[in-house]
Amino acid sequence: MRGVATFAAAALALASAPAAAQEAGGYLYNDSHFHLTNYIQRGLTAAEYVRMMGSTVKRSTLFGIPLQQTWYQPNSGDFAPTYYLHADSSLYYYSFTDAMIATEFLSLPKDQRARLDPMITGFNPADMYATDHIRRVLTTYPGVFTGIGEFSIHKEFVSSKVAGETASLLNPALDRILEFAGESGLVVILHCDIDVPFARGNALPIYFTQMRDLLLRHPDTTIIWAHTGLGRVVSPEPLQATGPTGERPPNHMELVDQLLSDPRLANLYFDISWDEVAKYAITSPETQTRAAALFDKYPDRFLFGTDVVAPPNIEAGTRVFHMWDGIFARIRPETRQAVAFGNYERLFDAGRAKVRAWERANVPN
């Protein structure tokens, strides 16, 4: 009965899909941001996810979550937390997640593997040895991984809970990671909040300049900035209408435009994953019009993703997709096609080819 319900839900989603989906053989979208497992490393099998994708999701990334939530009995008692907001206890890096993802991927038949792009996440971006882990995963599981991420640097409510050193955009460990990604062709999905939570109208978001400078240092690395730098309480609009000296701080879309118009940052892309991000874009007719204009201005720089975590059904993802219907209705059909399908396939197909070439040159037969 579960399979029948899933099929019926997929059919309903397709019936309401925008025109762009019709151009891709009936599929609704490619998912550039999908978590197979949750914060306690539980979730779906890859086979379950492929069945769920059905004729709704054409291609998808595949990654776990690099952090494990600690169940500290003196803190939450017999309540077992499954999410980082469920307890005050710390998070720690869980490197075995990469072996889990590889094992799941390799359990699939070849035609199903072709629809998925596994990503390496089980490393500490504050550790200078992180590149050793990434290289070791590639050489242990050749033919599997396409990229790294989603991994986080600054993340609301999460960064302060991670045991050990706090990740930073200024840490040379991160530069080593991105340098190796450029060398090996790995596509990078990087989560970094553009600002601190509840920011109060600074001239620029706190992490904007550091992030821009990091991107400039790695022009040969394909980097997807997850959620365009926004979060649950990292808002696109400052709490104050003017900055400390009276000037109007640039809004978020202006900052994204500024980055994408810089010819030195041709390696930068944004995913529009997470329902928390969609809520900002659809706040008003004005924000929808501005978002649509930005997509049409840079049609090859945005990728749709759901950011669902071990979802129980396909509706969890299609719900996020349909939050964008009002904006997708405002943009050119070719832009919808690029955001929903084409940009994913261009970036991840190129990443696959480059990583396989690196493996042929570096993995002993």
Q: What percent of the chain has pLDDT over 90?
A: 75
pLDDT bracket for residue 89 (50, 70, 90): confident
Tell me, what's the pLDDT at 36? Answer: 98
CB burial string 256-279: b at 16+ within 10 A, e below: bbebbeeeebebbbbbbbbeebbe
Residue 13 pLDDT exceeds 50 = no
**Residue 146 near residue 181 (C-beta atoms within 8 A):** no
DSSP-derived secondary structure for 313-364:
STHHHHHHHHTTHHHHTTS-HHHHHIIIIIHHHHHHHHHHHHHHHHHHHHS-
Average pLDDT over residues 85-104: 92
Q: What is the pLDDT of residues 14-61, one digit of tens each?
A: 344 444 444 457 999 999 999 999 988 999 999 999 999 999 999 999
Choose between 242 and 108: higher pLDDT.
108
C-alpha span between 156 and 76 (Å, rounded): 21
Residue 294 pLDDT exceeds 70 = yes
Choose between 118 and 17: higher pLDDT.
118
Long-range pairs of 324-331 with CB within 8 A, sequence gap ≥ 24: 324/272, 324/278, 324/281, 324/282, 325/18, 326/282, 326/288, 327/281, 327/282, 327/288, 327/291, 327/292, 327/295, 328/18, 328/20, 329/18, 330/288, 330/289, 330/292, 331/292, 331/295, 331/296, 331/299
Tell me, what's the pLDDT at 246? Answer: 60
Residue 12 pLDDT exceeds 70 = no
Tell me, what's the pLDDT at 10? Answer: 40
DSSP-derived secondary structure for 149-176:
EEEESS-TTTGGGBSSSPP-TT-HHHHH
Q: What is the pLDDT of residues 210-231, one digit of tens each?
A: 999 999 999 999 999 999 999 9
Tell me, what's the pLDDT at 245? Answer: 59
147-152 and 187-191: which strand pairing? parallel
Tell me, what's the pLDDT at 9? Answer: 40
Residue 96 pLDDT exceeds 70 = yes
Q: How many residues does the chain have?
A: 365
Indicate which CATH number applies to the domain containing 347: 3.20.20.140
Choose between 149 and 5: higher pLDDT.
149
C-alpha span between 273 and 280 (Å, rounded): 12
Tell me, what's the pLDDT at 188? Answer: 98
CB-CB neighbours of 8 under 10 Å: 10
**Residue 236 near residue 253 (C-beta atoms within 8 A):** yes
Q: What share of the chain is helix, strand, coil (3-state, %, to 5)?
A: 45, 15, 45
Residue 145 pLDDT exceeds 90 = yes
Residue 240 pLDDT exceeds 70 = no
Mean pLDDT of the chain: 90
Tell me, what's the pLDDT at 45? Answer: 98
Tell me, what's the pLDDT at 23? Answer: 47
**Residue 99 near residue 116 (C-beta atoms within 8 A):** no
Domain containing residue 100: 2-362
Give the chain's domain count.
1
